[in-house]
Structure 1
Amino acid sequence: MKLRLLAAFSSALFVHPKIAMADEPSFNIPPVTIPESIPKVLNGYPVPGSLWPATRISRTTTSKGTFQCTATIIGPRVVLTAAHCVDNDASMVVKSDFGNVTVRCEHHNSYSGAPYHDNDIALCISPTDISLGGARYEKINTKSSIPQKGAVVRLLGYGCTEPSGETAPYLYSGTTQVVNRGSNKIHLSGGGGAVVCEGDSGGAAYAEGPQSPSPLTRVVIGVNSTREIDFSGSNVTDIADTEISKFIQSWKSKHAVSVCGYDEIPGACHP
């Protein structure tokens, strides 16, 4: 089985998955309806979109074509993705069964681009509140102690399900372990665990249960950024890193918006 997430290599050429606009996704396919012959997200499995309503497919168009990534809604008007998924100060379409929303995105001011993709994070603002059909927005981690080395984390995305494969219209998930943290990144093991694959870029990595702030909760601890060229591991942008946290707080203050994890939004944020 395999898990699919991402659109950049940590030590090789940066690649976006180019998509055909005619291929429309199905967001809430229960796992039992997916044939066993479909490859699983590099060491992961299909999950119903209804369990992750704030996780969306994103599309952006540049001079090089139209590309697909994954994005996460973390507040009524706030979308989180990777900087390499969208040009700075450019628009991006966030798609779901609840409707499509066009948002405007800004990179971290120290995003390095290829080949290392340091500070690989973008925040996007919607002109109006984004509906999740009554569900809750995801909450981002603000605690520098999370996750610890060896902790199990969950990867999520709408990317490819086999190396160099096509992106699939189903949401896939899988778990892996933290190897170490540093340089604005959390380094995750491959070794039988989930690995990001093209199209999963910009999706979220989660701490769940006892390692999150309280039992039976989940928090976004990273943004899917890069993978090793041989699929031996993944790198996600560390949400709780000091420089990343400063960017988030400055951006939300600039736009006067609320972000789950930093702000109390009664009944709106996932536990």
Structure 2
Amino acid sequence: MPEISPRIIGGSLASAKEFPWFAAASGRFSCGASLIHPRILLTAAHCVGAFRSDGVHIGAFRRGSTVRGAVFRKVIREIQHPDFQETSFSNDFMLVILADPVNDRDPVTLNTNINVPADNQELTVMGFGSTLYGGSVSKNLNEVTTFAINHNTCRDIWSTNFPRDVQLCTLNRGKGACQGDSGGPLVLANTNIQVGIVSFGAECADTKPSFPAVEARVSGAIGWIADTICDVTGDCDYISNMNNRPPPTPGPVTLPPQSKTATLDIVFQYDAYPKETTWSVLSDDQPIFVGPNYEPGLYERWTSTFDEVPYGDYVFQIDDSWGDGLTTGDYFGSAELVQDGVTIAYVSGSFGLRQTVDFVIGTDPQPAIPPSQPPTMSPTLAPSSAPTQSTRIDTGTINIHFQYDGYPDETSWVIQSWPSYQILFSGPDYLPSIYQNWTTSLVDIPVGRYAMTVYDSWGDGLKTGSFFGYYRILQVNDTNGDGNTKELAYGDGVFGFASTVQFEVNAL
């Protein structure tokens, strides 16, 4: 029997509000769930502990965030199925009790028929799990299509006698759930009828494309679910009345559109020094568009258009090499992000070296409120060239001090020149211990501006439970030989996948 992996491969980005009943654990351990009652979630028993400490987001679209209609709830109790088997994952069911009800959306409907799904019936699974075996969990919710397969065929492939009443098998070669998707709902395609719970597989669909995934069959636990809801809430007819509910009332966003892409326009109003300005659009901390791809003129207004931009969360970043933003004297430039004719984000010209703004491409673009800034003056006489900065040749010594969390192997860092972004140093060059304090010294660093980015592969920064790490950059002042230091930058442990600080090494 292949090694069991608590395991979206080959899928696509879900639409915001497409699965309002999908829930995700908010802490270090990535597990999915479904809202089956205003106060109760259904998930996998092997996800025990994932929800209790850090709570849960219902209607989750971006992991750990309430963006696009998600709500956060604390958890007061996790109840595993009494017959759960840790070795075979049989009866892999667990109920999660919320501290406060969720009344602003309809729960999922639970299937009660053991003959559903039929062989080859199309199903949908969603989650924040890895998009390749051994990879990091995803920031955004993904979905994928899979199919129910014959139970005897599944038994033969696995050489294991899975009990049909509490387990079912799915397969779509090269596509399916992966690490971090455990506990998530498996629904009949284009419905909110849940038939299964993501349980386990042989690694992931990208490395074991011919092995079926094994899911917990919801109909096999209906009696236990009904009894537990009755005990916890006193609503003893909830499951029996479930199939008599009226259909959900359509909201402003119903079914996802056929095309999950949009047109994005980036509109710039430059200042008198357009050569100082560059910009990028980032997805998962990686640039997907950069510009400008032309040489703008003084005070020029220019629009760059990008078609078929996938739905999702993005970051827009503007850099100004002189450090005065899009300003020249009393004149203020600006930037706008426009989705399908709707301005969804503004950037004021009043900033320093860098300005970033989060934005979402989705089915329901929300008009942004223009930022307040000093009134824009009409340009008068544009300077013929940008001021010239003096060149410094002095050097200094800096110390990079880390207070690691309980998972130091997740953390790495780079130092880049500013604003060219050339990587000059990276680390760590050793294997730090858990909760270790460590200082790395870098000598003969030329005077100038730099940026340091700290990465966390798990996406929870320098945080373990209630413990928060940090990092500091200090310049050594050894002119008196006393080893005094001056703090140049500080970063706390509260961030996701990356944290960037800017600092300047000064002449002593």
* TM-score, L = length of structure 1: 0.71
In the TM superposition, what are the counterparts of 1:65-76 in structure 2 within 5 Å? 66-76=28-38
CA–CA separation in structure 1 for the residues paired with 2:86 and 2:249 = 31
Q: Structure 2 vs 1, CA of residues 188 and 266 (structure 1 numbering), >3 Å: closer, same or farther?
A: closer
What residue in structure 1 maps to residue 202 of structure 2? 228
* Deviation string, structure 1 residues 222-262 (Cα, Å, up to 9, x no partner): 00000123253211100012xx1221122112112479754
Q: List 4+ stretches of structure 1 deviating above 6 A.
A: none
What residue in structure 2 maps to residue 240 of structure 1? 219
What residue in structure 2 maps to residue 146 of structure 1? 116
Q: Structure 2 vs 1, CA of residues 165 and 112 (structure 1 numbering), >3 Å: closer, same or farther?
A: same
Shift of 1:144: 2.0
* Deviation string, structure 1 residues 81-134 (Cα, Å, up to 9, x no partner): 1111114995661124143212211111010013x2111110111232125xx3
Shift of 1:151: 1.1
CA–CA separation in structure 2 for the residues paired with 1:258 and 1:70 = 26
What residue in structure 1 maps to residue 19 of structure 2? 52
Structure 2: segments with no counterpart, 5+ residues? 61-65, 152-161, 251-508
CA–CA separation in structure 1 for the residues paired with 2:32 and 2:178 = 11
1:170 and 2:140 matched: yes
In the TM superposition, what are the counterparts of 1:107-186 in structure 2 within 5 Å? 107-114=80-87, 116-131=88-103, 134-181=104-151, 183=163, 184-186=166-168
CA–CA separation in structure 1 for the residues paired with 2:2 and 2:225 = 27
- Aligned residue for 2:116, secondary structure, equals coil
User: Which shows bigger deviation, 260-269 or 161-170?
Assistant: 260-269
What residue in structure 2 maps to residue 197 of structure 1? 178
8 A contact 1:160–1:167 mirrored in 2: yes
Structure 1: segments with no counterpart, 5+ residues? 1-9, 17-40, 61-65, 210-216
RMSD: 2.9
Q: Structure 2 vs 1, CA of residues 269 and 120 (structure 1 numbering), >3 Å: closer, same or farther?
A: farther
Shift of 1:12: 1.6
Larger radius of gyration: 2
CA–CA separation in structure 2 for the residues paired with 1:91 and 1:142 = 31
Q: Structure 2 vs 1, CA of residues 88 and 161 (structure 1 numbering), >3 Å: closer, same or farther?
A: closer
CA–CA separation in structure 2 for the residues paired with 1:69 and 1:58 = 6
Letter in 2 for 1:121: F
Quick one: higher RCO (CA 8 Å, sep 6+), 1 or 2? 1
CA–CA separation in structure 2 for the residues paired with 1:88 and 1:118 = 19
1:93 and 2:84 matched: no
Q: Structure 2 vs 1, CA of residues 270 and 196 (structure 1 numbering), >3 Å: closer, same or farther?
A: farther
Letter in 2 for 1:11: P
CA–CA separation in structure 2 for the residues paired with 1:208 and 1:261 = 22
8 A contact 2:226–2:238 mirrored in 1: no
- Aligned residue for 1:124, secondary structure, equals strand
8 A contact 1:139–1:260 mirrored in 2: no
Q: Structure 2 vs 1, CA of residues 88 and 169 (structure 1 numbering), >3 Å: closer, same or farther?
A: closer
* TM-score, L = length of structure 2: 0.40
Letter in 1 for 2:2: S
In the TM superposition, what are the counterparts of 1:11-50 in structure 2 within 5 Å? 11-12=2-3, 14=5, 41-50=8-17
CA–CA separation in structure 2 for the residues paired with 1:178 and 1:202 = 17
% identical equivalent positions:
21
Q: Structure 2 vs 1, CA of residues 174 and 270 (structure 1 numbering), >3 Å: closer, same or farther?
A: farther
Letter in 2 for 1:187: C
8 A contact 1:91–1:105 mirrored in 2: no
Q: Structure 2 vs 1, CA of residues 171 and 88 (structure 1 numbering), >3 Å: closer, same or farther?
A: closer
Letter in 1 for 2:215: V
